[in-house]
Structure 1
Amino acid sequence: MLSIYKNLNKVLICSLAIVFITANASAQTEKPKWSFGVSGAANGNFFDGTTQRLSTSLIVPTAFHKGKGIRPFGSILAEYQPSSKWGIALNFGYDGRGGKFDGVIAPCNCPADLKTNVSYLTVEPSLKFSPGGGNFYLFAGPRVAMNLQKDFNYTQLKQPNTNAEFSEVRKTLISGQVGIGYDIPVSAPESNTRFVISPFVSYHPYFGQDVREIESWSITTIRAGVALKFGKARKAVRASEPAPVAPLQEVSFSVRAPKEILVKHAVSETLPLLNYVFFDEGSTALPDRYTLLSKNQAVDFKEVQLQNEVVADMAGRSGRQLSVYYNILNIVGARMKANPEISITLSGASKAGPEEGRKFAAAVKNYLTTVFEIPASKIAINGRTKPVDPSEQPGGTKELELLRAGDRRVDIQSTSDKLMMEVGGGMMKPVQINTTQADPMDSHVVFNVNSATELLKSYTIDLTDQQGQVQRFGPFTKNQESIAAKSILGTNEKGVYKVVMLGETKLGTMTQKESSVQLQSQQEILQTGNRYSVLFNFNKANTAAAYEQFLTEVVAPLISNGSTITIRGYTDIIGSEDYNNKLSQKRAQQAQQILEQASAKAGRSNVSFETLGSGEDSASAPFNNNLPEERFYNRTVIIDIVSK
């Protein structure tokens, strides 16, 4: 008995020493929100009460009362620490509660001993509390123990030993514990992963620890051990140090005048075709915005009819392209009619389930077989819940309605190069459109207010001419705004304007920046050029992976010495404005890198690039964002090649 107490006291003293010696240490990182690990400990078990009927067949002559023993404890653990002062923990493990009863003397004057090997599978949730928000903590909680072992060994002088199992052992015990501990970080302060050694001591009183349904044997336990935990660290700020303050960021301001000459481009545009047919919510019929022909009309349909110029400015580009795209079923039908060897698969997708997706595909098949008389054997159909390349990603929570509208569609798939082109993973072969266009931004004054969305509530632009007349525009909130030069000049042919940007910061202070701009009426000239577009799947800037061959082999050979290449990237409206600006710029820059390398390899010289990302900006976006096909076509990079 004395030796056991001494050993247990040593464990307790060592554990408490570690706790209090390190109690003044300051952590370099805060406690992770989530930690996982293992623990190991020694259970000091103290028996009290009475036990005499060991099993249904053995009642010993003298009852046992007191006892003690040290047994192992081991667990796997998880902790959740939402704040520096409190958290919750869960241990799941093996709990040894055995030991040896004090010896007794049987009536025959024979010494008798009883050893136990009682153990449990234990679940121990607990509430943790750190009084000062530091590494020292208190914990308390219930213990639910399910019996694993109930062995005993009874020895009596002049009697054979008995090894058996206790009878009437409770299958489940519900008790409690309280304890203290200390988290000691052992990983480097700058490490992203935080490793912690945590010595602890806990007390398990006898309440709820009656081992058996009969008699009164109960166990009191003092547990001492160490836990090893790891989690992702959060940077901490010492209480004695002020939190770092980000330097005050200046708002920069610049003005870009419109071009002196408005260039209109006679463009031969290579239009990529989406190989998708989108369906409206709640309907399996082909939407009426698609161009649907009769049998007689289908006989006379030719792709070349779609090349005719419709409008003569940049703003009409979306109407022209969508007019071509809405003939997608007629283009497929005409190509299959002209090339009888073509086979396709129509893969319909609907969040309502594969059955509705199959109905979408069946509607497309019915149109092709009825109107263009394509043999049904050439068209396979299937249904899915999500398309092969969905916009909605697992775990996504934002703007799901827009994403799901883009996933409610039929994908047209084929291995025939007469129908498809390997641009972006199975894009339809493009259609050529001839038109004359002008970029409206070339006739606008562009105002760049760096970090306006982050630093300013709003700002206004004042333009003062040489006669002192002031025109005020705004308020604005975006990093870039533009105003048509004609609306500033009015009836004047030219003018020099003082420009003042006056903004209110989010801290309530005012900031003012000044510049100037000279304007004059534009002249117009006509240039010829080529335009190419590449399309992207949702949230991906994968130009190099999907379009390198197309850009290198099809677009780059059209670049001659002295050519000017304009590359503009765009996105749809899904996601934050800042993220979309960066994404569109990344897409455009990747396209430029490929074209630069290809033209340099071909020996081209004096080639100039103008590359920018316009994000989701509605003033310059090629399309609206009301329909899924418009959003898909806005995920684009447009490349204009103008020869010298």
Structure 2
Amino acid sequence: MMVSFSFAQQRSGYGILAGYGINAHLADFRSFPQYPNCCPQFSHGKGNAPIFGIFYDFPLTSTSSFSTRISYNDYQATLTSSEFIILSGNIQGEYQHIIEASLQNIGIESYYQYSPYHQLNIALGLRYAFYVQPTFSQKELLIKPLVGTFPNGSRSRNEFIDQSIPFYQSNSFGPVLGLSYQLPLNALQTLFVLPELQVYYPLNDIVSQNDWHIHQYRCGLSIRYSPFPHKDIHKTYKDITLIDTITISVKPPFTEFTRGISALSVDTLMSPDSIVYLTIQKRTDTIKYGHIKQLQVNISAWAVYDNNREEPLIKIVDEEFTSVLMTPLLPYVFFDKGSASIPNRYQILEHQQLLSFSEDSVNSDDRLSTYYHIMNIIAKRMKLYPQATLKVIGCNADIEEEQDNISLSKQRVESIKQYLIHQCGVESSRLKLEYRNLPEKAANSKTKDGAQENRRVELIGSIPEINAPILTNETIRTINPPIVRFKSKVIHDNPLEKWSLKSRLTDSVFQLYKGVGDVPAILEWNIDKQKGKAAFKQSKLDYTLIVDDIEGMSTVNKDSIPVEYLSIKKKKTERIADKEINRFSLILFDVRSSDINAINKPIIQLIKTYIKPNSSIIVKGFTDKHGDIKKNEKLADERAKSTAKALGFSESSGSVYSQGNADTYSPEYPEGRLYTRTVDVIIETPIVNE
């Protein structure tokens, strides 16, 4: 291997150059004096010729230098002009006038050179040249017609060969602009090759009595020799041994060392004042050693609260509260497309079951499961209020097979009527039957969701109690924190094969995660949604992470978190601060509206009766996933704020949240979407233990 050095300082140099010139001639004359020529005008010409020369340069600064050149050049060119005429007999004729000029010259060039970047040079200078007996040849040719001659009997005339150019200027001078790049040819950087490009523009005309001048574009190579000042070269000799080591991990406790085979090479390092001769010995050794591969696992549990707030998990609290749960009733029964049969998802009870039916028993946080008893709830209330009547209004989507299909609306009413009369025992005289196409407040049937929502039977009582929300006094449990976030960190040498994480509160409340490959950094368990009905008495949260790698190594990390159970009785006995949590909902807002309509105004008045001076209020607005997400987010926020305003609470006593495109219930059926388009109101009121 040869190592070369680059030197920043400039040095004097000299050399030879060779290149090629491309000549562009611009002219405005007809002929040379004393030489007849019928050309109407010569305007341009072109040519090319070789360039040879020698040069010398010396430095001015570390980035600039001065250069002088002596070179041979030739501005030769061929000037042509075509002339089109009409000959006798209306024949199209064409003459071509040609001048071939030889403009050999010897010139001196002086440059200032600047090096802005490494070996790149920009040159600006002047050239002064002497012409060496410039000559020309000319002739005129008959091109068309293809037959015929000039009056001299030939197809050419006014032909002259190697004539001296009359009144030529003895010299030419003008600026030169150039660009070159210096490339070293040897290790000491004393010999260089320089590719270069130049433009030369003489300022004077070639002939004193004619308008005729040139531009020349040059490309070429220079060979430059730039010796260092003479000095003694210091020579040294060095031996170098280079050893590479390859380590291979094997099963312990085996260890082995293998010495590699040496390879010999020589090299030379050169600089302006020294030469270093190297003898290099290289070899590669191999070490096999027994490495005990590691597999370490760490897992921790964190509490996750509202707004994704995270804290270390110290304990889990299972707490009981007294509560009022209000579930609004959606007074619609929805039907499948083209069908009058009551869908299977609605709860159809036998007569004996209806006798013991209680709406309190079906009221729960899962509003849809409560809603699917809508016919049973309304039938029960009709029994409680014998003075009430019930409108049963059949509707359809009024498109496709349901278009103007009043008969289908009537059949749907008949299905509801038969159930209310024969199963529930409601007198037929109290049922007011109506049939129509679209509902009075219809959705857009041109959309799939809108058409679904219009295929319904409406059940509207004559008194508010028939369609009033369900109010249930109950005991509820909350798990705090509601979500546990497990964070894992695994250190391993071998790739992982499989893992499992099991978290357990009771035999019926547990969560199992498992997978292959790497363990996810974060796994979450929503305990509050999975808590079930049984309290976590004398319980604890156990969690265990098991990880196996591909070589059969396995490790386990486990831990426990205590669970505290706070019953209403315990809080009262031990005088622990307690509170009442009441939950309400508003549904059936008008389409794309946040106004509190006539359906929701009675609910607002009911909610106000539960608000005390020391109550804290949370209002949450939701929309389903139907429509533009930004518009839905805005609508959810407007409905939440409209509800808060109607309740009359201040920012200090409550909080307002919203979520567009919520996934509270599946959007597959209309009731799922309608119960997602809601505003929830949660009122927490401290209880003073006497």
Question: Normalising by the residue count of structure 1, what TM-score does the alignment of the two structures yield?
Answer: 0.42
Q: Which has the higher helix share?
A: 1
| Greater RCO (CA < 8 Å, at least 6 residues apart) | 1
Q: Which has the higher strand share?
A: 2
Question: Normalising by the residue count of structure 2, what TM-score does the alignment of the two structures yield?
Answer: 0.39
Larger Rg: 2
